[in-house]
Amino acid sequence: MKWLNYRFVIFVLVFIAGVALSVPSLLNLSFGPKITLGLDLQGGLHMLLGVDTKKAVASKIKSIAAAIKYYAEDNDILMDELRVNDNGISFKLLDSDDAPKIEEFLQQQKGLVVKKDGLKYTIALTPQEVKSIKEYAIKQAVDTIRNRLDQFGLAEPTVAKQGKDKILVELPGIKTPEQEQRVRKLIAKAAHLQLMAVDEARQARADQMSPEEAAEYGDIILKDRNGRKYLVKEIPILDGSMITDARVAFDQNNQPVIDFTLNSQGAKIFADFTAKNVGKRLAIVLDNVVYSAPVIRERIGGGSGQISGGFSVQEAHDVAIALRSGALLAPVYMEEKRSIGPSLGADSVRASMIALMSGFVLVVLFMILYYGIAGVIADIALIANLFLIIGIMALFGATLTLPGMAGIVLTVGMAVDANVIINERIRELLRSGVSVRKAIEQGYKNAMSAILDANITTLIAAIVLYAYGTGPIKGFAITMSIGILASMLTAIVGTHGIYEALMDKIERSKNYNLWFGIKV
Amino acid sequence: MEFFKADKIYDFMGKAKYFMAVSALLVIGSWALLFIKGLNFGIDFAGGTIVQVRYDKPVEISKIRQVLKKSAIFKDASVTYFGSDNEIVIRLKTSTKNLKQDIGDLARKALAGTGNYEIRRVDMVGPKVGGELREKGLMATVIAILAILIYVSIRFEWRFALASVLALVHDVSIAMGAISLFSIPVNLDILAAILTLLGYSLNDTIIVFDRIREGIIESTKLRSLNEVINEAVTKTLSRTVLTSLTTFFVVLTLYLFGGEIIRGFSFTLLIGIIVGTYSSIFIASPLLTILGFDLEKYRKKLAEKRKRQQEKEKMRAMYEQGMV
């Protein structure tokens, strides 16, 4: 029972496993483990986004200022010159009796450094707080972008933090440039909703006022979509972080509008403000553009509002998604973008398949020509090797990229190396007059250290490539490593098993030209 | 079938100085090219934008250039054919950070009216990412070489390690020289090719070195290092040539049929395989003698190692038989 040697059994099992695991990928079956094609092979959008974390710190400072202002008004604390800049907040108390109250409030806020000079307070954030805000901004951006893309209805979007401060977005489903642009806009949308009080006392002069002069009153100038200027209080009444829901609706003229709902804290602030400011205007500001500025007719309880202002239906839909999934605390920008059209991906697959097949055929024929049946055995190992690479990649859900394809093609050329080394050793021993049985045993033994050393050094290069590479390069390193390991298994164990199984036949035939391609 | 006569030992060492001279010329020439002409860094490392556009029929590049001249962004863009005269590539040194409207969108607008086209690829790399990739690429190469140096030192001897790394430097230098000579844009895939070449060329060298080590142990007659090397290189010659040929075939088909996108990668590998094969036959082993490799000392070291191993086995055998 020569066929039942352990090497041959292992090889057959490995071969069967390789075929079984690669069939779902090769025949594109609906079940079983499958290789995912990289974006460069199936088309899609790959983006590396940067996060402008400084802006997140600035907006945190603004929202602390809003909280201070609301607290002061709520508790009848009189303050003046409440100012906000990128580094902190300053204000002046009018009544020193209020100092303990406001100081107690400030103490409750975490991460603040409060300096006091008479009745003038300057507030800054601690360095740890700044750091944690920045970290949170990135995490929040990842979550927000993921949320938005999920709701957009794309197949398998990937959104992940990459490195210290970057976000990797991969969208295989993107087919057209128009679709891509819409997705990019959706991702970029700050969706920063603010409800701001119009400075009615000075609004009449809005057109003539400079931004510097506005700042003196604690105001900023914003425009609406038609270019009309509004003078609004810089510190908003509330912002989008208090939104719980946003949906597209239609007004009486059948124009799309966005209905939003506030959480309980937001609803209370909104109700209090509207009660105190009946007859004044409230600007609804989205991403620093005034969408509408209705006059407050009465106290608005219930915590819901509406943004109107000439949206298209698609636009309203995207804005609602953006509002629902939350504002970006910090704006994102593009660091790297690769968009591959589906036709280019298909072309790449076709071209590399042609290269793979023709390279494969050349190597197979050449090995048979040079080594005879030993070449056929090496070719069987090579075929097993190819199935094994595909099967293992499918098993681990690895991504096949274009350089990965090149890696497989390259493996075809290099995989026969171990068998070439072994066959050369066997030939050498046969020439020196050793019996076939001994030549084969000894050949494998002698070849082993060279095969191991050579493959391990290549593996080292592949591992380094994986550790330092990005995207497609990683794919190349993976296929290379799997290819090296698989070829060692099939070429060392597999072919040895086949020789053992055929040993009697080889010994009987004595035709070394047929078996090993040499005349002795 | 056989390539080489089985009973003949070729005298490689006798002609080593000629090959060393040729290699020295090639390496110096490559370095000169790298210093004078430099590398043409592609967008992966230098940052910038590539827009690949395919038309439904052949286009005239001069016409496209004229159209693009009108737009401020594409004024300095370079336009070349890509694979066929239906397909063009627009290269820009700039990139945009703007998510809402990027260069791909602008290119679509700028090309309006030039015919029926499809934008197949827009690659944009910001300067910061490009710098990081360049740093990482350099790191990867250095770490790979260091790791190999350590591994070979442990498995062989430090002179073997140094000789193989010098052979690597030789191969990589010449491949880079070729990349510079033909102005191939250096992108991530070229880095991958260089690192593959590193592994491949080393593979070849190690197999020859393994034979030299074996020759040192096996030969009981006192022979010179040159004889040992000649024998080892000759005995591995069939294997070296055969594996190089199969790999060369495959990479050649990749170069011919792999499409324009993979051309830089496969070109680098083609050069690399030729140079790597040459260096492992003619350059790596003579380097051993130049580095002052001492046959006798190494033989003693190996003999001692072997003795220790035999003693260990003896001890184990005794232990297993319960004699200790």
Strand, coil or helix: A76? coil
Weakest-pLDDT range from A76-90, B161-175, B238-252: A76-90
The answer to whether A193 and A323 are in contact (CB under 8 A) is yes
Nearest to B251 among A366, A413, A453 (CB): A413
Weakest-pLDDT range from A90-104, A162-176, A418-432: A90-104
Task: Specify the pLDDT at position B269.
Answer: 92
| Other CB atoms within 10 A of residue A220 CB | 18
Nearest to B120 among A184, A341, A406 (CB): A341
Q: At what angle do helices A53-74 and A99-108 cross, to 10 degrees?
A: 140
The tokens for B81 are 């054919």
Pairing of the two strands B48-55 and B117-125 = antiparallel
| Other CB atoms within 10 A of residue A393 CB | 26
What ipTM score was computed for the predicted complex, to two decimals? 0.85
The answer to whether B277 faces chain A, any CB pair under 8 Å, is no
Task: Specify the pLDDT at position B220.
Answer: 64
Predicted confidence (pLDDT) at residue A17 exceeds the cutoff of 90: yes
Residue B175 pLDDT level (bands cut at 50, 70, 90)? very high
| Residue of A47, A164, A339 best to disrupt the B interface, most CBs of B under 10 A | A339
Which residues on A lie below 8 Å from B203 (Cβ)?
Answer: 414, 417, 454-455, 457-458
Average pLDDT, chain B: 87
Give the chain B residue nearest A342 (alpha carbons).
B120
Higher-pLDDT residue of A358 and A509 is: A358
What value does the mean pLDDT take over residues A18-28? 89
What value does the mean pLDDT take over residues B180-190? 90
The tokens for A342 are 């589906």
Task: Specify the pLDDT at position A378.
Answer: 94
Verify whether the Cβ–Cβ distance B258 to A469 is below 8 Å: no
Residue A1 pLDDT level (bands cut at 50, 70, 90)? low
The answer to whether B291 faces chain A, any CB pair under 8 Å, is no
Work out the minimum CA distance from B27 to partner chain A, whole angstroms. Answer: 23
Task: Specify the pLDDT at position A183.
Answer: 87
Nearest to B254 among A359, A421, A471 (CB): A359
Work out the minimum CA distance from A317 to partner chain B, whole angstroms. Answer: 17
Task: Specify the pLDDT at position A249.
Answer: 86
The answer to whether B262 and B253 are in contact (CB under 8 A) is no
Residue B6 pLDDT level (bands cut at 50, 70, 90)? low
Weakest-pLDDT range from A150-154, A200-204, B211-215, B311-315: A150-154
- Contacts from A124-127 at CB under 8 Å and sequence distance 24+? A124/A87, A124/A88, A125/A57, A125/A60, A125/A61, A125/A88
Which residues on B lie below 8 Å from A359 (Cβ)?
Answer: 249-251, 253-254
Predicted confidence (pLDDT) at residue A506 exceeds the cutoff of 60: yes
Task: Specify the pLDDT at position B283.
Answer: 92
Residue A75 pLDDT level (bands cut at 50, 70, 90)? confident
Which residues on A lie below 8 Å from B52 (Cβ)?
Answer: 344
Predicted confidence (pLDDT) at residue A241 exceeds the cutoff of 70: yes
| Other CB atoms within 10 A of residue B82 CB | 19
Q: Which amino acid is at A284?
A: I
Residue B1 pLDDT level (bands cut at 50, 70, 90)? confident
Which residues partner with B263 through β-bridges? none
Which residues partner with A158 through β-bridges? A170
Give the chain A residue nearest B129 (alpha carbons).
A335
Verify whether the Cβ–Cβ distance B151 to A362 is below 8 Å: no
Verify whether the Cβ–Cβ distance A403 to B245 is below 8 Å: no
Verify whether the Cβ–Cβ distance A338 to B195 is below 8 Å: no
pLDDT digits (tens, 9 = 90+) for A411-451: 888 888 899 999 999 998 998 888 889 999 999 998 998 89
Predicted confidence (pLDDT) at residue A342 exceeds the cutoff of 90: no
pLDDT digits (tens, 9 = 90+) for B32-41: 999 999 999 8
Residue A64 pLDDT level (bands cut at 50, 70, 90)? confident
Nearest to A258 by CA among A312, A197, A297, A300: A312
List the strands of the sheet with A282-286, edge to edge.
Answer: A229-233, A219-224, A289-292, A282-286, A193-197, A238-239
The tokens for B255 are 């170069």
Work out the minimum CA distance from B216 to partner chain A, whole angstroms. Answer: 14
Most confidently predicted of A64-78, A190-204, B242-256: B242-256
Verify whether the Cβ–Cβ distance B243 to A461 is below 8 Å: no
Average pLDDT, chain A: 85
Weakest-pLDDT range from A264-268, B273-277, B317-321: B317-321
Nearest to A351 among B136, B238, B259 (CB): B259
Which residues on B lie below 8 Å from A167 (Cβ)?
Answer: none
Give the chain B residue nearest A350 (alpha carbons).
B258
Our CA dihedral for A310, A314, A318, A324, rounded to 10 degrees, sits at 80
Predicted confidence (pLDDT) at residue A270 exceeds the cutoff of 70: yes
Verify whether the Cβ–Cβ distance B261 to A50 is below 8 Å: no
Predicted confidence (pLDDT) at residue B324 exceeds the cutoff of 60: no
Nearest to B189 among A351, A403, A461 (CB): A403
Interface of B with A in 111-170 (CB under 8 A): 118-126, 128-129, 133, 136-137, 139-140, 143-144, 147-148, 151-152, 155
The answer to whether B214 faces chain A, any CB pair under 8 Å, is yes
The tokens for A198 are 């119009």
Task: Specify the pLDDT at position A401.
Answer: 86
Work out the minimum CA distance from A147 to partner chain B, whole angstroms. Answer: 18
Work out the minimum CA distance from A452 to partner chain B, whole angstroms. Answer: 10
Interface of B with A in 62-121 (CB under 8 A): 95-102, 104-105, 108, 118-121
Verify whether the Cβ–Cβ distance A472 to B188 is below 8 Å: yes
d(CA B16, CA B10): 12
Which residues partner with A121 through β-bridges? A91, A116
Total residue length of chain B: 324
3-class SS string, A162-220:
ECCCEEEEEECCCCCHHHHHHHHHHHHCCCCEEEEEECCCCHHHCCCCCHHHHHHCCEE
pLDDT digits (tens, 9 = 90+) for A275-291: 888 888 888 888 888 88
d(CA B112, CA B41): 30
Which residues on B lie below 8 Å from A446 (Cβ)?
Answer: 214
The tokens for A151 are 């709701």
pLDDT digits (tens, 9 = 90+) for B50-60: 999 999 889 88
Predicted confidence (pLDDT) at residue A518 exceeds the cutoff of 90: no
Verify whether the Cβ–Cβ distance A352 to B148 is below 8 Å: no
What value does the mean pLDDT take over residues B126-155? 85
Verify whether the Cβ–Cβ distance B196 to A470 is below 8 Å: no
